[in-house]
Amino acid sequence: MGSGIVFPAIFSNVMEFTLPVGSAISLPLALASVVEAAGGAVLVDSEVKEILVTNGRATGVRLANGETMPTRAVC
């Protein structure tokens, strides 16, 4: 374990909260799995240039590489 765990470990004992098992990356990986299991996609290293809006609702994104991704839900 790295030294970065010292203060979170102390606070988890004092404040009675838990830490994710398997390191800090465990939670984002689990969330990505949930999104993918529901048919979604998680993109990394993709810069969003614009959020596409139709009738006041987000309907997709335009990436820096020019790719447009229409969608039902943009988070």
> What whole-number distance in Å separates Cα of residue 68 and Cα of residue 52?
9
* Residues forming beta bridges with residue 74, ordered by sequence position: none
In a shared domain, residues 54 and 19 = no
> What whole-number distance in Å separates Cα of residue 12 and Cα of residue 6?
10
Q: Which tens digits make up the pLDDT trace of 19-30?
A: 666 777 888 888
* The pair of three-digit structure tokens given for residue 29, joined into one six-digit string: 């990986």
Structural domains of the chain, count: 2
In a shared domain, residues 33 and 3 = yes
Look up residue 65 and give its DSSP letter: T
> What whole-number distance in Å separates Cα of residue 29 and Cα of residue 2?
20
* The pair of three-digit structure tokens given for residue 8, joined into one six-digit string: 């979170």
In a shared domain, residues 31 and 48 = no
Indicate the pLDDT class of residue 13, thresholds 50, 70 and 90.
low
Indicate the pLDDT class of residue 50, thresholds 50, 70 and 90.
very high
**Domain containing residue 18:** 1-42
